[in-house]
């Protein structure tokens, strides 16, 4: 993993399930390797946050599937960016 700054958020992140929502469908990004030694990140985890800001990209992986992209091209761009910019290997999966 290169060019990645790990930071602790000052504000917690909350997730509340919505009753009656259909299961996620689309394209998800699954972590394979490149973040060894990072607490709580292990192969098979799913990209759960992807935010492109003015100066950086904020991302995270979690055990459960909590987000997906509507278009395969968007998921592929995220996976390619992680590989090129941070040497993090992932795979794009249809869900």
Q: What band does 11 get if pLDDT is binned at 50, 70 and 90?
A: low
Residue 73 resides in a domain: yes
Note whether 69 and 26 are within 8 A (CB).
yes
Residue 15 resides in a domain: no
Note whether 90 and 82 are within 8 A (CB).
yes
Within a 13 Å sphere around the CA of 12, how many CA atoms are in the beta-carbon half?
2
Instruction: Tell me the average pLDDT of the chain.
Output: 92
Residue 8 resides in a domain: no
**Could you tell me the sign of the dihedral formed by the alpha carbons of 53, 38, 35, 25, in that order?**
negative
Note the pLDDT tens digit of each residue in 57-71: 999 999 999 999 999
Residue 79 resides in a domain: yes
Q: How many domains does the chain have?
A: 1
User: Residue 9: which residues within 8 A CB-CB, separation 6 or more?
Assistant: none
- First-to-last C-alpha distance (Å) of the chain: 27
Supply the range of the domain harboring residue 80: 27-94
Residue 40 resides in a domain: yes
pTM comes to 0.89
């Amino acid at each position: 993993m290169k060019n990645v700054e790990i930071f602790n958020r000052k504000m917690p992140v909350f997730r509340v399930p919505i009753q009656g929502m259909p299961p996620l469908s689309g394209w998800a990004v699954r972590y394979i390797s490149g973040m060894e030694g990072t607490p709580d990140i292990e192969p098979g985890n799913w990209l759960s946050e992807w935010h492109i800001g003015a100066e950086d990209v904020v991302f995270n992986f979690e055990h459960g599937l909590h987000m997906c992209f509507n278009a395969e091209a968007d998921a592929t761009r995220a996976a390619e960016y992680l590989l090129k910019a941070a040497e993090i290997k992932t795979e794009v999966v249809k869900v």
